[in-house]
Amino acid sequence: GETMNFDEYFLMDEQAVSAYIKYKTTLFETDDLTVTEIGDGNLNYVFRVSDGERSVIVKHSGHTARISDEFVLSTDRTIREGHLIQAHSRYVPDLVPDIILIDPVMKCVIMEDLKDYTILRTALQDGQLFPFLGEELGRYLAETLIRTSDFIMPAKEKKALQKEMINPELCEITEDLVYTEPFYNNFNRNELSEDLAAVVDRIVYQDSALKAAVAQAKLKFLNKAESLIHGDLHSGSIFINKSGLKVIDPEFGFFGPAGYDLGNIIAHLFFAHTHASSSGRVEQALWIERTLDEVLRTFRSQALSILQRETIDVALRDASIIAGFINEIEKDAYIVAGLEIIRRIVWIAKVSDITSLEDDRTRAETQLLRFAVFLIKYPEQVRAYSSLFTLLDSSKESVA
């Protein structure tokens, strides 16, 4: 440990993290620390450091993504993530982890260890139900997205934060993986079974109207600097237990379209719902339907209440402008939900909710793809259905 130099960046392993914590902090009295790498994401390394009683997390980034050396990324992404968590914690301190230290030299963030929590995706696949999930997600979305929009955040403060949160490399990943590659046959990172390849060819690759709608959505992602978004709000980015939830891992965050985060929540609730239904868990599937309804209702009512009470700019403080703003976020979210469903089925970053299905997988994927295509092409028609799940149901037969 004594020979390591922590004044210059290098990619740390478990042994280095142990020495680093002792050098950099006074968190632990003992030298006898256990460090375990527990990350399961696509990009970074996550170390748990424990003295047997207390523990903290060290999130650390390398020059390339963990999933593949093809992605060369600045190690500053972890620093930005730490600052983004701090920015969101102004509005939802109870829904994000406590940050202990952000180290711009070693490119790591030391934060609270959420060891009493489980990743939401895992908990849902275990068949668990959380009565508060919809309301808490709705509150997270309303507080973070509305309070960082121009309605509430003073313009100069927003622009200063925008500068700090500019995130071209990780945005490029999203631009490629969500908005481009899944819609074209000629990218080698699309990965499909033979049966599904025929479906994708017919209802995705060959649909030029779909591609035009995706291009419009991509322009929005590139240009709509609306709110400080999380940028990757799937059920693997949420920790949960019986008493609450914590949103982690906003490294794809930047000032982008507010509907992006809501759309991701919608998409991953549909993956969870598909898993529950295919596993014969009717009660859990119905609870997921109610949960999505609660997310949308809570987001809408809390967004409206914040905007009505706290919009300062007289030019924006208008009932129809405020209602239009919320409606537009919802419409953008339906489109993003469609995009996220398609890319998680077509591209290599798949979700275990779907890959763990056996005989039922192609049927479920086909239904979800049809549903997703409808969301992208006809988001304004969603209102005609009593719920998004009714629309999913009608996607058994072709609605696209």
Residues that bind ligand SR1 (CB under 6 A): 41-43, 65, 67, 71, 173-174, 177, 232, 349
Q: Does 39 bind Mg ion (CB under 5 A)?
A: no
Give the shortest CB-95-to-ligand SR1 separation in angstroms. Answer: 19
Q: Of the ranges 17-25, 38-46, 57-65, 392-400, which one interacts with Mg ion (CB under 5 A)? A: 38-46
CA distance 258 to 123: 27
Q: Of the ranges 131-139, 241-249, 265-273, 344-352, which one interacts with Mg ion (CB under 5 A)? A: 241-249
Strand 227-229 and strand 254-256: pairing? antiparallel
Residue with token string 């009660």: 283
Nearer to Mg ion, 231 or 259 (CB): 231
Nearer to ligand SR1, 67 or 215 (CB): 67
Task: Say which entry of Mg ion, ligand SR1, none residue 349 contacts (CB below 5 to 8 A, set by partner kind).
Answer: ligand SR1
Beta bridge partners of 112: 56
Residue with CB nearest ligand SR1?
42
Give the shortest CB-170-to-ligand SR1 separation in angstroms. Answer: 8
Query: With b meaning 16 or more CB within 10 Å and e meaning fewer, what string describes 261-272?
Result: bbbbbbbbbbbb
Nearer to Mg ion, 67 or 209 (CB): 67
Residue with token string 């060891």: 115
Amino acid at the residue 19: A
Nearer to ligand SR1, 253 or 379 (CB): 253
Q: Does 103 bind Mg ion (CB under 5 A)?
A: no
CA distance 33 to 230: 32
Q: Does 261 bind Mg ion (CB under 5 A)?
A: no
Q: Does 244 bind Mg ion (CB under 5 A)?
A: no
Give the shortest CB-252-to-Mg ion separation in angstroms. Answer: 7
Count interface residues toward Mg ion (CB under 5 A). Answer: 2
Give the shortest CB-54-to-ligand SR1 separation in angstroms. Answer: 29
Nearer to Mg ion, 41 or 244 (CB): 41
Give the shortest CB-64-to-ligand SR1 separation in angstroms. Answer: 10
Q: What are the two backbone dihedrals, phi and then psi, of residue 206, each rounded to the nearest 5 degrees?
A: -95, 5
Give the shortest CB-234-to-ligand SR1 separation in angstroms. Answer: 7
Q: Which two tokens stand for residue 22?
A: 């002792």
CA distance 202 to 69: 32
Residue with token string 């080698």: 188
Beta bridge partners of 190: 347
For Mg ion, which residue of 81, 249, 332, 340 counts as binding (CB under 5 A)?
Answer: 249
Neighbouring C-alpha atoms within 13 Å toward the C-beta of 394: 13
Neighbouring C-alpha atoms within 13 Å toward the C-beta of 358: 1
Q: Does 41 bind Mg ion (CB under 5 A)?
A: yes
Give the shortest CB-41-to-Mg ion separation in angstroms. Answer: 4
CA distance 357 to 365: 10
Nearer to ligand SR1, 73 or 322 (CB): 73
CA distance 1 to 189: 41
Question: At what angle are helices 319-346 and 208-223 packed, to 10 degrees?
Answer: 120
End-to-end CA distance of the chain: 60
Nearer to ligand SR1, 41 or 244 (CB): 41
Give the shortest CB-115-to-Mg ion separation in angstroms. Answer: 19
Handedness of CA 284, 287, 288, 289 (dihedral sign): positive
Nearer to ligand SR1, 179 or 255 (CB): 179
Chain residues binding Mg ion by CB under 5 A are 41, 249
